[in-house]
Structure 1
């Protein structure tokens, strides 16, 4: 074995990257991140389009000087925090245990 960390079949990192466990971890991450990103981008684009092409609707007063546009804009922040919370819970339950198993296996070699 060389001192650079290379072993038969590539470096430890290349072996881990080629492993089924790592592929499963990446698949799980992508199954959460890509759809959630798409949903958020559509939601944000909808807000921008409404602001651009429906100013009368966005300027509709809900209560006092609070408008529909302001409410939707504030909901953008709320949705960001909700998505972040969902990701942290998902990572704690799904990603972190799998990553820990991979790390332990690599360190035990």
Structure 2
């Protein structure tokens, strides 16, 4: 039964929707993280620039790593609620109905 469900158009659409959001967002986050690491290693003067008080560019960018992580989690939950969950519920409903009739 699972092989049949996996081959259906609804399931393939679910996978496409998930991948169309998850892969680009993952690549963007890794690029953002790599930028921070590269700047920390090779642009020490830039990262050491004080913005105000003892707060420098490196600290702000480091804290923005956490902010971006939480933003991505929040954005994914909204995306999944609107675009993935309804389709997944439909697939589950159809699979459950088929199970009852078998």
TM-score bracket relative to the smaller structure: over 0.9
Which entry has the higher C-alpha Rg, 1 or 2? 1
Q: Would you identify which runs of 4 or more consecutive aligned residues in structure 1 move more than 4 Å?
A: none
Write the deviation string for residues 11-49 of structure 1: whole angstroms up to 9, x where unpaired: x11110010100000000000000000000000000000
SS at match of 1:86: helix
CA-atom RMSD, angstroms?
Answer: 0.4
- Which one has the bigger helix percentage? 2
Gaps of 5+ in 1: 1-11
1:27 correspondence with 2:16: yes
In structure 2, distance between residues paired with 1:42 and 1:94: 25
In structure 2, distance between residues paired with 1:101 and 1:15: 15
After TM superposition, the score normalised by the length of structure 1 is 0.89
Gaps of 5+ in 2: none
The Cα of 1:71 is off from its aligned counterpart by 0.2
Aligned residues: 98
1:18 correspondence with 2:7: yes
